[in-house]
Amino acid sequence: MSSTSPTVAPPRDPGPSPARRAVAVLLLVPVVVAAALWAFAWPGARTAPRDLPLGVAGPAAAAEPIARSLEQKEGAFEVHRYGDEAAARAAIEDRTVYGAVVATPDGPRLLTASAASPVVAALLREAVAPGGRPVPVTDVVAAPSGDPRGGVLAATALPLTFAGIASGALVTAFKLRRGPAAATLAGAAVLAAVTVTALAHDWLNVLTGSWWGEAGAVALTVFAVGAGTAGLAALAGPAGMALSSALMVLIGNPFSGAASAPELLPEPAGLIGQWLPPGAGSQLLRSQAYFDGNGSGGDVLVLCLWAGLGLAALLFARRRAGEGAPAVA
């Protein structure tokens, strides 16, 4: 008879001691608080115009001194010159500039677009007043009466971000792949868009553009965030999910410029924010709600890139996982 010795299981690694884990938590909490405070408070504490697009219109002899005065404000404004008031108004409606100073025989007049940014409109009133004297102001594209300060529109950025992250996380948790994953992300985006547009457009009356254009902007934003989240999770697992949440919430939301304008944020926060879905999505929704979709091409491109790359990562990661699986006899 042959006897076999019992197999002895290797000792389990108990991992870090409770004391070390407690120390790690105590060290991690202030780091997270500091990062969140930096991301959300720093842009607000450093709000100032930086190459803010502003038009100057009128005869060259009268408009040139105004343009030179604005250009001397330490890079605060990016001055665009127009031959007359009509051209300046068209540029504002196309979202080329936030406002314009029109030189007239009676002195300068200011054209603003509070729908583009109430904060910028108020800033321009102070910036172009000669000697502190107020100038006549015409609001070419006014913010809706239901949201004169733009707070409701700005507040949509975070819920849309959460909706996208939630859809990407659920697709990952339920292990949906390829076609079903893409269809689920798209369906969630459409349902979120219908809900948000119905509330903001029909109930609150703070969105005043094309209903379907606004819904399309919301759907594309949620889809881009969801696809990006699912793609990063497929590539890097829980670390990818954490990275997506940090990018979209801690960076994308405060750097979006939704509450003010990207050109008012400290560099490079404004630029970074416009390359992330929350920033591009909030600007796209503003364009659709108040400017007939003008100036939205770049925002659509950014959102499509995130959506496309996210879906490609989702497909690539799943395919690699399938290729690496052992063959079943």
Alpha helices in the chain (DSSP H): 18-45, 60-71, 85-93, 118-127, 151-155, 157-173, 178-197, 211-236, 238-245, 269-274, 277-290, 297-324
Q: Is the pLDDT of residue 321 over 70?
A: no
* pTM exceeds cut of 0.75: yes
- Size of the chain, expressed as the number of residues it contains: 329
Give the model's pLDDT for residue 327. 37
CA 245 to chain centre: 14
166 C-beta neighbours (distance < 10 Å), count:
16
Q: Is the pLDDT of residue 111 over 60?
A: yes
Residues 281 and 300: their CA atoms lie apart, in Å, by: 8
Element (H, E) at 112: strand 107-112
Q: Is the pLDDT of residue 5 over 90?
A: no
pLDDT tens digits for range 125-159: 988 876 667 889 999 999 999 999 999 999 999 99
For residue 142, give every residue at least 6 positions away whose Cβ sits within 8 Å of its Cβ, in sequence order, or none.
113, 114, 115
- Which residue bears the tokens 């300046």? 88
CA 225 → CA 7, 18, 302, distances in Å? 50, 37, 11
Give the model's pLDDT for residue 326. 43
Give the model's pLDDT for residue 243. 94
Structure tokens at 2: 């042959």
